[in-house]
Amino acid sequence: MDIKIQNLKDLKTRIAYLEIKKLEDELFVKQKFQSIKETLTSPFKFLKRIAAMVGISHSTDNTTSRSQKADWVTNFGRVFLPLFLNKTLLKNRGVLVKSLVSILSQRTINAMSFNKNVLVNWIDKATDLINSTKKKVKLPKKEIDYGIPPESETY
């Protein structure tokens, strides 16, 4: 590709052509880099979206604004409540019913309605209920006879 440059005008056009070619090549490399980067990070984005749906991590967009962050009790409830329901109440139900109940239970458990404080209150109420059902047998007080009647006068 030997181009003969004969005068100053040919030199300036060649420089302009090479600058445009340089910009085009940079843009091409940048687009290829972005394409490779998106290809490599797409599985992680998919996992982040799944985690955000389940509630393990929060999504980066502000479409779901939560006034309180989920604590470990909320995350634990989102994972194990569907498992508990599937093993107990939905034991002989179909896969479709189990999946719907799992999705609904994961969506309904949020940081406002199920957190450490709520769990502690539930445990306190359960222990109060258990303690109140135990009937404490009160023995009748026996009056002790000291031999002197209480209304007697002593001089």
**Is the pLDDT at 154 greater than 80, yes or no?**
no
41 CB-side CA count, 13 A: 8
Count the neighbouring beta carbons within 10 Å of the beta carbon of residue 109.
22
Q: Is 7 left (phi over 0), alpha (psi -120 to 50) or beta?
A: beta
Examine the pLDDT at 74 and tell me if it is beyond 70: yes
Q: How far is CA 103 from CA 109, 112, 135, 145, in A?
A: 10, 18, 42, 71
- Residue 66 — very low, low, confident or very high, per pLDDT cuts 50/70/90? very low
Supply the pTM of this predicted model: 0.35
Q: How far is 52 from 107, CA to CA, in rounded Å? A: 11
**What band does 155 get if pLDDT is binned at 50, 70 and 90?**
low
Q: Give which of 68, 55, 70 is closest to 105, Cα–Cα.
A: 55
Distances (CA, A) of 85 to 37, 79, 99, 102, 103: 41, 11, 11, 8, 12
Residue 65 in this model has a pLDDT that exceeds 50: no
The pLDDT-based confidence of 63 (bands split at 50, 70, 90) is: very low
Under the banding of pLDDT at 50, 70 and 90, the label for residue 116 is confident
Q: What is the structure's pLDDT at 9? A: 93
Is 78 within 8 Å of 106 (Cβ atoms)?
yes
Taking residues 85-109, what's their average pLDDT?
82
Only one residue has tokens 């209920």, namely 129
Interatomic CA distance for residues 15 and 21, integer angstroms:
10
pLDDT band at 136 (very low <50, low <70, confident <90, very high): low
